[in-house]
Amino acid sequence: MSNTDPTPKTPFPPAGDVTDPDKLLRVEEAAELLGIHWQTVHKLIRARRLPVVKIGRLSRVRRRDLDEYVAAQTIPAVRDAG
The domain limits of the chain are 24-72
pLDDT band at 22 (very low <50, low <70, confident <90, very high): confident
Cα–Cα distance, 79 to 61 (Å, whole number)? 34
Give residue-wise pLDDT tens across range 42-81.
999 999 999 999 999 999 999 999 999 999 999 999 988 7
The model's pTM: 0.71
User: 24 Cβ partners below 8 Å, 6+ apart?
Assistant: 53, 55, 60, 61, 62, 63
